[in-house]
Structure 1
């Protein structure tokens, strides 16, 4: 039987007041001219359940909150949501006190329960994630939400002649199909889990195959030999390394005995080098002393020469009396010069010109200093010569010791070093090749591990697919339910009298209607009225099938917005609208309170003869103060505005 879902009332709240719309009848019609709020009220119902609603500017400007009173099975559930609602929160209220019992987000936040989860749980519909592709081609999944179910329950005006439950959109079509299968028992939690597992295995197998191909290409490009040849080469290298290690140990033993003989010579060479260096330094220092002494002697000889020249000049020039200036050759007689001044430079005349000459004591002092310096220089030159001879002797000794060391090295040590270097090079080469072989082995092991995981996943996928097939085959009764839905759909097409239809059925793959072999998208060419009538017949068939079958859990609610607008106003269109309304009235009259239908339209079509529409509960809307938004004046058709999408995202 159907899952019982009923709208008890809708309260529209503004900043100044509120208005409650009661839906206490099986069939309610919202009637009124364009722009009076019929569709907006239906959109507010969708908004309250957490859906993305198309709201007019008037609603967004004046309505602050919507409260939806639901009957879900045996539970009364009251939902409230702000308008607009950038936070994406739906409140659960106590239906009697209106106190907030819980606040549930529209979108999942770290596994937190959403309003969709709460509604699906109350309706007994699985909260599942299903593969994004029909046959679980990848591990990607998408959640089945209450809004996917709402697309079956609420036929919006913009979709009534072009889309069934969002089948034209890629991101909603897969959940639509999955939800249909859950409602008819063609799928369950275990089967859905297996389908998700198949998708995960498909993704893993694809990744394994890509990795296997990449590693195989790498092995080919690097000319990696087979594992058998790698193992054979590794054994040969290990044997050669053992031989090299033995040879190196033997050379080390020989080098140890040779080293004792060379240690004495190296010690003597070190001592000779140190001694030669010290003597070279001593010789250099003594050479510097000789140079300094020679400089001192040269300065003393220069000073002595200057003293002698001054002495001679004093004697020669002191007796002269200049009458003519030796520079300008002018007579000096007319120059007024004091008696105690020099007639040339006019400086005070010295007491005696002879007194400025160098005396004998000064000359003797210079002569003594020069003689003493020459004696010291001679000693320094002798010491420097001896130091140079000693340094030369030490250098010759050092050269002799070096020759002896070189001779011993060439005859004993060099061959050992050459052999050791050669063997060490071979050892390093063998180790590098061994490391490369280890890398090759690791690559082969990785390749085998990937292949092993690939085979394991392929084996598991085969089992999962077999289990999925077995489970689907076991759902014979579920497929019979789809067949009964198919028959119900054909019956509704006939009862409504959809014009021009010769054959109608439900496709078993996508669960959508086929009319004379054409898909729903293709029958629009026949006119919006045909597509609209087919859509209405499809939804009525869903509810009637669920009424007759306790295992079909389609909820007992159907909302249809503006069917006559899509059908048209010609006489034949009006007749089609009459048949649709009459069929809806007959279904609700027969089912009573087991189902609920709500229709929004500009006006009811004229009832056909013998039609019983007395049970249609009409809620009328109008302009001025009779529009849907309470306490807001509507100035008429010119003030009507197109709808806009709400900011909240499902």
Structure 2
């Protein structure tokens, strides 16, 4: 059962050995007269389903099990093969909003496949809050209580109501803001905006006029400006000349000082030479040993035996040359000092002229600008205030514009809501005749409950609002009975739906029913066994009446021996579902001695 569900793109519950040993599942389907093969891998590769041609096993297409934008999914293709359009419904049908969910093949499949874990707990997963709106919508679509256009209008109505709530909330917030932000209405603000615009423009024109007047009055002082610029250049040049002259004075002072230092050093050398030259050492001043006579030649020191630098030195002529050089440098220094003083005088004169010209220009400019300064200041402040007020008013008017747009949107959405509500009323009136099907379904369910002889059940019916079974007027979840009896109620409900679809041929319900353990939790006493027998008698009656127009797939632990009208597949230790995997046996399971699957493979 779960492998079939997996092949059709459902979220199946698979056993560990299946997940480990099975690579993919393939099923051949006949949907609305069209034969198709579907194949889906297990594990991470099972995110898509392959569709193949049963005639030659040729590949047709591969579709994702989940919707991805505008790409078709497995659900879209299967619903299309069944002739059921893909539609969306509001997520909450009682107070619909813009949130919507699609109706998928898996939602339809819940009316075809009754799972073992839910057969005695719910009817078509009605206890799951998320799936409940979809369960009801699928029922309405299958039995003609709604059509795709009707469901589309319900979805659109939810979007319109959601948009209307948002627009009304935003409009209320903007209206509150305008009430607190200003005491003027929109028309007054627009008139004030025009007045402020004119005021700002007048101030701008006034400033332009004053600038033109100032420019005209100051153009006559262009010659004075040119003189100021020329004086600035002269002052810069004179300053640079004075700095150069002072640098030259410093250089010559340095040369003269160096020459005098050299003269002092030479003078000291002369004095030393005169005092030491007459001395002749006969004893070493260090070790006091006698120096041999004739141990040194002429021009060599008698002590260190190195060339004597003082030998033959003459000081008189070099001393005269040095004095002449010092006198010459002294004269050059005096010339440089005089040049530097003249350069400083020129710089001071040019700076005084520059200051005088600048003062004259300032006076001339002040005479042209000062009389208009107050007027310029006033016009500038007036224009700045007008522009600031204009910005504020524009912001407020933007909210007025938004409020008008919101009011228009609210009005349009109200009209659209009314149109959709009226269209839905007409659609419901048109579909109301189809609601008689609920009476027929209730009769069939009651007939099935009576035929199955459900304990304590006096009558059965179908709730016209929820489309769920009622037994003695009680809802399924309110039945204070054992799980086996609830299983019978669920089976009776599905048999009633299928019986109507087969008899009337006016529904979209697939004429197929998959039951996993329809006798779940039934006891082993004779009355319980008899009830199980009546279930299969009811199923056989449908098979005999409609032959190959209907198909049942039933999983049971102990199929009835007398049900020879059904084709059976028996799975046991010798004939497992996976032929290549050997079961270790019942005793090994009870004792917990399970070998790995690999050691039990058939060779």
Give the TM-score range, shorter chain: 0.7 to 0.9
- In the alignment, structure 1 residue 154 sits paired with structure 2 residue 113: yes
Moved more, 59-68 or 46-55: 59-68
1:276/1:91 CA distance change after superposition, 3 Å? closer
Given that 2:234 and 2:350 are in contact with CA atoms closer than 8 Å, whether structure 1 keeps it comes out as yes
Number of equivalences = 585
- Secondary structure of the residue aligned to 2:520 is helix
What residue in structure 1 maps to residue 501 of structure 2? 546
What is residue 623 of structure 1 aligned with on the other side? Answer: 572
- 1:25-58: per-residue Cα shift (whole Å, max 9, x none)? xxxxxxxxxxxxxxxxx44444444434434455
Q: Does 1:133 align with 2:92?
A: yes
CA distance in 1, matches of 2:246, 2:535: 132
Aligned with residue 46 of structure 2, among 86, 94, 104: 86
Q: Does 1:526 align with 2:475?
A: no
**Counterpart position of 1:449:** 405
Structure 1 equivalent of residue 342 of structure 2:
386
Contact 2:34 2:81 in 1 (8 A): no
TM-score normalized by structure 1? 0.77
Structure 1 residue 600 corresponds to structure 2 residue 549? no
Counterparts of 1:317 and 1:115 in 2: how far apart (Å)? 125
TM-score w.r.t. length of structure 2: 0.83
Distance in 1 (CA, whole Å) between partners of 2:527 and 2:136 is: 34
User: SS at 2:39's partner residue?
Assistant: strand
Aligned to 2:104: 145
Residue aligned with 2:445, SS: helix
Decide whether aligned partners of structure 1 residues 271 and 57 sit closer, same or farther in structure 2, where only a CA change above 3 A counts. Answer: closer
Structure 1 CA distance, aligned partners of 2:263 and 2:95?
120
**Where does structure 2 lack aligned partners over 5 or more consecutive residues?**
591-603
**Separation in structure 2 between the aligned mates of residue 81 and residue 384 of structure 1, nearest angstrom:** 108
Equivalent position SS for 1:554: coil
Q: In the TM superposition, what are the counterparts of 1:218-617 in structure 2 within 5 Å?
A: 226-301=185-260, 303=262, 335-338=291-294, 356-359=313-316, 361-416=317-372, 419-420=375-376, 422-523=378-479, 525-603=480-558, 616-617=565-566
Distance, in Å, in 2 between the alignment partners of 1:376 and 1:125 is 118
Provide the secondary structure at the position in 2 that maps to 1:396: helix
Q: Distance in 2 between matches of 1:260 and 1:121?
A: 88
Cα separation, 2, equivalents of 1:531 and 1:231: 73
The CA distance in 2 between the partners of 1:108 and 1:246, in whole Å, is 65
Cα shift at 1:184? 1.8
1:71-220 to 2 correspondences below 5 Å:
71-73=30-32, 75=33, 77-82=35-40, 84=42, 86-94=46-54, 97-100=55-58, 102-105=60-63, 106-108=65-67, 111-135=70-94, 137-212=96-171, 215-216=174-175
Q: Quick one: structure 1 residues 506 and 640, their matched pair in 2 at CA, closer, same or farther if it must change by over 3 Å?
A: farther
Query: Which whole-Å CA distance do the structure 2 matches of 1:300 and 1:599 have between them?
Result: 129
Structure with larger RCO (C-alpha < 8 A, sep 6+): 1
Q: Bigger shift: 439-448 or 155-164? A: 439-448
The CA distance in 2 between the partners of 1:175 and 1:229, in whole Å, is 54
Q: 1:348 deviation in Å? A: 8.4
Relative to 1, partners in 2 of residues 1:177 and 1:639: Cα closer, same or farther, differing over 3 Å?
farther
- CA drift of 1:492 comes to 2.0
CA distance in 1, matches of 2:40, 2:416: 49
Q: Is the 8 A contact 2:218 2:368 kept in 1?
A: no
Aligned residues of 1:625 and 1:632 also touching (Cα < 8 A): no
CA spacing shift, 1:638–1:187, aligned 2, 3 Å: farther
3-state secondary structure, aligned to 2:111: helix
Check 1:440–1:362 CA distance in 2 against 1; reply closer, same or farther (3 A cut).
same
Partners in 2 of 1:439 and 1:605 — Cα distance?
A: 82
- Deviation of residue 86 (structure 1)? 1.7
Structure 1 residues not aligned, in runs of 5+: 1-41, 607-612, 642-650
- Aligned-residue offset at 1:622: 5.3
